Amino acid sequence: MARPSRLVVDPTTPLVDERFTVRLAGFPPNRRVTVRARMPLDGAVWESRAVVRTDDEGRTDLDEQTPLDGTYDRADAMGLVWAARRTGDRPTAANRTKTDGNVSITAALEGTVVATATVERRFAADGVTSESVADPELVAELYQPPGDGPHPGVLLLGGSSGGFPSRRAASLLASRGFAVLALAYFGVSSRPRNLLGLPLEYVDRAVDWLVADERVRDLPLGVVGWSRGGELALLTGARRDPVQTVVAYVPSTVVFQGNALTGDPGSAWTVNGEGHPYVPLEQPPGFRTRAALRWLRGRPLSVRPLFERGLDAAPAARLAAATIPIEETGGPILLVTGDDDRVWPADRLATRAMARLDAHEYPHDYTHLQLPGAGHDVKVPFHPTSERATRPMRFPGRSLGLDMGGTPAGYASADEQAWNAMLETLRTGLDAAQ
């Protein structure tokens, strides 16, 4: 008696940042099988497809076979997730569900579904908790791992979108054993609206809070930041002795002006009430015209030239004053960049930073992880990447796509590599259990 056709997934309840395998067994030999995946996430539904061929024994492994057709073209079961494409409307808070991230998989022969499976992905391990920080001068949330503490502490910083940093990243880091203070430093109630003239003393207070909290293990601390938050993470590591491990995703190692693309509003940061030395942006000739044309044609705009021209035009003394002295960090440093970043020259600046650390004979581990095929939007792994290359920028009465760079497959690989490197850096620097 023939065994029924089966879809075998393992594990069936992984954390979101964990891989799962997809195998076919008990199918007719040497037949084309269409594997489809459907996943609700952030209020939308995402779908993907891979056509594979069974072997002489009616089996196949999606991690070993390149699809004959489908939404991705390499041997990778996680392609069912990262290559998924949005169906339906843009997400809203109201239509998110408790099944977000779960992947429903079907396998069909000649249009007839013969096997199904579900992967119940989790955004946090059992026992992870979060709470608002009871400090009237901080807008922050503390994510705690399961089990008895104290746990190694990590400060988490978001980028130029403002608000809280990724709660998904915070809960997953807590799932890996870190007590995470997710800090909102602008763009929320009671904090400045814009990334301009923000006191670094505010971040100092957050560091001091981590140092004092009994649920957080004794020093050292770590800091992780994305984009402008990566710039802020590097500043924090250089300024504050308790912070001795820094992971900066797509950062600048030079302080730039506040978050404006036209004009020079001043420094993004202040120290003791004075603007931190910074590099202003500079528009290349014809930039406004090109921006208007791209808006009219519905094409995304790269703003990297504004930062590169600002760097090239800055006098040597000003550039030196704005450069972050990362050699003062006192522990491991990981800089993550994509080789197709079209927002700012994170790759170029990270290369310079590595040379600076070499020149200072920096005694701790330091790495520039440059990721091929990735742009500015490297994130938590195993999420859809089909829309990463462009991010909407909204202005009064209009919107314009911001060119982030990168490809879906490039981001998929970059997300996973960067996340694993970040965990390893934090574990090494904070002496955390593997």
Catalytic residue numbers, as ranges: 227, 341, 376
Write the secondary structure of the chain as one string of H (helix), E (strand) and C (coil). Answer: CCCCCEEEEECCCCECCCCCEEEEECCCCCCEEEEEEEEEECCEEEEEEEEEECCCCCCEECCCCCCCEECCCCCCCCHHHHCCEEECCCCCHHHCCCCCCCEEEEEEECCEEEEEEEECCECCCCCCEEEECCCCCCCEEEEECCCCCCECEEEEECCCCCCCCCHHHHHHHHHCCCEEEEECCCCCCCCCCCCCCEEHHHHHHHHHHHHHCCCECCCCEEEEEECHHHHHHHHHHHHCCCEEEEEEECCCCECEECCCCCCCCCECEEECCEECCCECCCCCCCHHHHHHHHHHHCCCECCHHHHHHHHHHCCHHHHHHHECCHHHCCCCEEEEEECCCCCCCHHHHHHHHHHHHHHCCCCCCEEEEEECCECCCCCCCCCCCCCCCEEEEEECCEEEEEECCECHHHHHHHHHHHHHHHHHHHHHHHCCCC
